[in-house]
Chain A
Amino acid sequence: MSLKGFRYLHKQHIIPLVLILTLTSVLFSVTAFSFLSFYNGFASYVGEEENVVAIYDRRSSTPFTGLIPTYLTEQVNSIDGVLASSPETITPCVVNNQSIFIRGIVPEEFVKLNNITLIEGNMLNLSNINTAIIGKGLAEKLNLKLNDEILVFSVLSEKHIQLQVKGICESNPIMDDEALVPLYVGQWLRGAGYSYVTLIRAKIDIDQLNANSLYAEIIKTSQPTATPQPTATSSTKNQLDQLVPYAQTHFDVDRLNIEQTQTFMKNYLNRYGVSKDTLLSISVVVLFFASGTAASALTMFLNQHKREIDILQSIGASKRKIKIDLLSKVLTWSLISSTLGTIIAATLMLLFEKVGNIQVLSHRLFFQLDPLIVALNFTLILSLTAFIVARSGGNQ
């Protein structure tokens, strides 16, 4: 006996079921999308290009608090295969009672690693004293316009600085929430003197060099007996030498580490037990916690149709056939619910992004539609539905 022609499930009971499965899916998707947006955003904080490496202090507990010698910039620049090197100081600060991050850079080198598009005003250069260019996100957050004056208070040192907004720029989403200042301004705010920077990013020719060989080269050139390398005549060296009074300080090279920029950030997250897998697992736990409601809704749905199922059995439909038919129908609605859940979650994330202004470490979260989350959402919701229907469907 085929059950194809029988419309024994009521629409008024289907709608609440779809609604609850959709909500469960929304909860999972919103959790997973936000966690992954945070993770991906943080991982690409200093860049995501394969040929950009970060040279940093391995003993620092955060990516913002490490210190390495400024003079290494010159040393790195002189190595064959290094296309550009950008010394940077990243400092947490407060402007108008709001937390921001300020990045001290050598603009001429920085633009070789990051594309910056000016929306208004002029591009920064190292000789622009008392000025900053700010990302468009930060300009919106602090309600700043071109030529506005800002008073910056440092978090890591007892320094305050008066700056003028020289330009408003657009770059990658992370950089859009920061202010860029000449390297020495970042060094004042960091409070560690001119001889230190937070990190040096280097663009390398991957056919010639990798992170390990670059590290080996730096160690080699740091040896007291090493043959002096030909002095670099890059613009970085000239500008730094001309303006910034840095010294060749003693530094334990064992403290140095070099990694591809994304690996560098991921390693910091891993130190605190945060990885993509952990975050996905937490999202699955969230779904598991919400599955009680979905299970109740499915059980209620089956109970609501007990009478119809009994009638089908009395006219000769086997339990197995009823179960298969129920399963196919409920799975179809689960599929619809998961799709709706994903769409609603994506819309909510975009809404949170625009209206809610969700921030983590003063950087906005940007929604990224991760196919892995979408696939997980479908798989988990369908599995949950299939499990409950298979366990109780047809046995009512």
Chain B
Amino acid sequence: MHTIAFKMLFRKKGTASTVLAIALLIALITSVSALVNNINSQATALGTLARIGETYLITDKNSNSLLESRIDVNIADAIRNVSEVKYVLPQKLIPATLTATTGNYPILIRAVDEPQTFFNMKKAHINGIASKNQSHANVGKILSNLASINKNDNITLTINDSSTIKVQIVGITTTNDQSDTDIILPIITLNELFQKNDNISYIELALKDTSTSARNNAINQITQILPSNAQITKVQQIDTFAQDMNNQTLSFLNLWSIVIYTVVAAASYVIATKLITESKYELSMLKIMGAKRSLTSKTILAYTIILATAGAILGIAIGIVGAQVASTTIRWMFTNISVAPFIEVNQIIQILLLSFVSSIVGCIYPALKVVQKATVENFL
């Protein structure tokens, strides 16, 4: 009976046009997804093409701020033993008030292991020398401009509104980073002030310019050294940025796809209703031949789902071919634009599944309605 029913319905005029209607909608999603894939892969590829530095920070996992971050200074010594490490710069950041001849300024003190090494690694320009003992400090160029501090000036640093340090500025430094607004001094100066303290804010480290596998190996070794409360983060975050950009594009595509799948559901509703309207005679014949009520609704459901799935498969094909044709045309017209759309297997499966679900949602109501009214009189 099922075979007869399907033969009757599929031979009807208009089947091809309904498949095409759904195919065009699915082609839209497929081609747009293929283009978005291309845009996302280009964004990711840009990240790999750009020269990404190999500088990392080791910070406290439980803190979003370097000022709150606390890690053990001994980690730095352990990391220095990793052969691929170029330099390790343990740093302590402390908010303080700077008192100079021109007034008081809220600043950050950057206490480092060895100021000379710090400035060398930062390729800093020093007007003067790097501080070497507890009574010396360096001032960043912008802070020196702001507070009118000159070489050999004496300044007072007040920490936590209570402890004060008096130091002499032995050099004005330009590093082109945040230390240009800091007071940089040896970490031993603070250790004396706060007694013996093994905590630092963070460790900045860089890897040697070697092979990717050697660098990955070094990162694995460092990760194993780290205690559970510490984390390692790459400084130049191209990957994270590209990933976030891709997610933004995908979330827009997902919202847009909801509208398309709603139209697919509506198209399935049209297919089912059209079938019922135009196949009154065939459905009545089936009834007369002894078909049960449920067979009619199952046939309508199956017919719609088969058409929707066929439409989805055709749509994916049209979408892929259409996107390729469009991109080739664009490449011919604008030689500077490189578009190479592609679609992944999991996306194809997702599109097929969602089309399937949308078509069931669309045709379920007319199919059930037929069961309720399925008498021969209704059809005739």
The reply to whether A151 and B267 form a contact with Cβ atoms under 8 Å apart is: no
Indicate which residue in A96, A162, A286 contacts B108 across the interface (CB closer than 8 Å). A162
Contact surface of B with A, Cβ cutoff 8 Å: 14, 17-18, 20-25, 27-28, 53, 55, 57, 59, 64-68, 93, 105, 107-108, 141-143, 145-146, 174, 176-178, 180-181, 233-238, 240-241, 244-245, 248-249, 251-252, 255-256, 259-260, 262-263, 266-267, 269-271, 273-274, 277-278, 330, 334, 336-337
Known: A151-B65, A296-B18, A296-B270. A290 touches B141 (CB 8 A): no
Stretch at the interface among A23-31, A104-112, A217-225, A372-380: A23-31
Please, which residues of chain A bring their CB within 8 A of the CB of B181? Answer: 129-130, 184
Kindly provide the distance from the CB of A165 to the nearest chain B CB, expressed in whole angstroms.
11
Whether the Cβ atoms of A359 and B142 lie closer than 8 Å is no
A289 in complex: contacting residue of B24, B249, B259, B262, CB < 8 Å = B24
Known: A94-B241, A300-B270. A157 touches B25 (CB 8 A): no
- Determine if A97 and B240 form an interchain contact, defined as CB atoms under 8 angstroms apart: yes
B64 and A151 contacting across the interface, CB-CB below 8 Å: yes
- Contact partner of A360 (CB less than 8 A), chosen from B23, B233, B248, is B248
Cα-based distance from A293 to B26 in the complex (angstroms): 12
Measured in the bound complex, the distance between the Cα atoms of B252 and A359 in whole Å is 7
A43 to B271, CA, bound (A): 43
Residues from chain A with a CB closer than 8 A to the CB of B263 are 20, 23-24, 27, 290, 293
User: Does A371 reach chain B (CB closer than 8 Å)?
Assistant: no
Contact yes or no, B236 A154, CB < 8 A: yes
- Closest approach, in angstroms, between the C-beta of B87 and any C-beta of chain A? 13
CB distance from A30 to the nearest CB of B (A): 5
Distance between Cα atoms of A285 and B244 in the complex (Å):
29
Other A-B pairs beyond A129-B142, A245-B145, A358-B252, 15, CB < 8 Å: A19-B266, A27-B260, A34-B252, A92-B241, A129-B181, A151-B59, A157-B236, A159-B235, A160-B235, A162-B66, A243-B145, A292-B267, A293-B21, A293-B22, A297-B270
Q: How large is the interface on A (under 10, 10 to 19, 20 to 34, 35 or more residues)?
A: 35 or more
What residues of A have a CB within 8 angstroms of the CB of B240 in the complex?
Answer: 94, 97, 99, 153
Of A149, A158, A187, which one neighbours B68 at CB under 8 angstroms?
A149
Chain B CB within 10 Å — which of A153, A245, A296 has the most?
Answer: A296
28 A-B interface contacts by CB (under 8 A): A20-B267, A23-B263, A23-B266, A26-B262, A27-B260, A31-B256, A93-B237, A129-B146, A129-B181, A130-B178, A149-B68, A150-B65, A162-B93, A243-B145, A245-B145, A286-B28, A292-B21, A292-B24, A293-B21, A293-B22, A293-B25, A293-B267, A299-B14, A303-B278, A304-B277, A352-B255, A359-B248, A361-B248
Question: Which residues of A are found within 8 Å of B17, using beta-carbon distances?
Answer: 292, 295-296
A272 at the interface (CB under 8 A from B): yes
CB <8 Å contact, B108 and A242: no
Q: Which residue of the partner chain, among B22, B145, B241, B330, contacts A273 with CB atoms under 8 Å?
A: B330
B266–A273 CB distance below 8 A = no
Asked if A14 CB lies within 8 Å of chain B CBs, one says no
- CB of A64, distance to nearest CB on chain B (Å): 11
Q: Give the chain B neighbours of A185 by CB distance below 8 A.
A: 178
Residues of chain A with a CB closer than 8 A to B23's CB: 292
Residues of B within 8 A of A193 (CB): 176
Interface check A16, CB cutoff 8 A:
yes
Give Cα distance in the complex from A184 to B176, angstroms: 9
A240 → chain B closest CB, angstroms: 10
Considering the complex, give the chain A residue whose CB is closest to the CB of B262: A23
A188 at the interface (CB under 8 A from B): yes
Partner of B107, one of A16, A129, A184: A129
**Is A56 interfacial (CB-CB < 8 Å)?**
no
Report Cα–Cα, A245/B145, bound state, in Å.
9
A30 touches B24 (CB 8 A): no
The CA of A136 and the CA of B168, in the complex, are separated in Å by 42
Does chain B have a CB within 8 A of A216?
no
When the two chains form their complex, are residues A245 and B277 in contact, meaning their CB atoms are under 8 A apart? no
B236 touches A153 (CB 8 A): yes
Q: Are A356 and B245 in contact, with the CB atoms below 8 A?
A: no
Shortest distance from the beta carbon of B120 to any chain A beta carbon, whole Å? 16
Q: Closest B residue to A154 by CB, please name it.
A: B236
Alpha-carbon gap, A365 to B256, bound state (A): 14
Is A333 an interface position by the 8 A CB rule? Answer: no
Residues of chain A contacted by B14 (CB below 8 angstroms): 299
Bound form: Cα–Cα A149–B141 in Å: 23
Query: From residue 268 to 305 of chain A, which have CB atoms closer than 8 A to chain B?
Result: 271-273, 286, 289-293, 295-297, 299-300, 303-304
CB–CB A244/B65 < 8 A: no
For A352, what are the chain B residues with a Cβ–Cβ distance below 8 Å? 255
A273 to B330, CA, bound (A): 9
Q: Which residues of chain B are near A160, meaning CB under 8 Å?
A: 57, 178, 235
Pairwise interchain contact B142-A244, C-beta atoms closer than 8 A? yes
What CA separation (Å) do A127 and B238 show in the bound complex?
30
**Chain A 316-338 interface 0/1 with B at a Cβ cutoff of 8 Å (1 = within):** 00000000000000000000000
Those of A122-177 within 8 Å (CB) of chain B: 127, 129-130, 149-151, 153-162
Q: How many angstroms between the C-alpha atoms of A290 and B29 in the bound complex?
A: 11
Return the chain A residue nearest B67 by Cβ.
Answer: A149
Q: How far is the CB of A173 from chain B (nearest CB, A)?
A: 16
State the Cβ distance, B346 to closest chain A Cβ, in Å: 23
Shortest C-beta distance, A150 to chain B (Å), equals 7
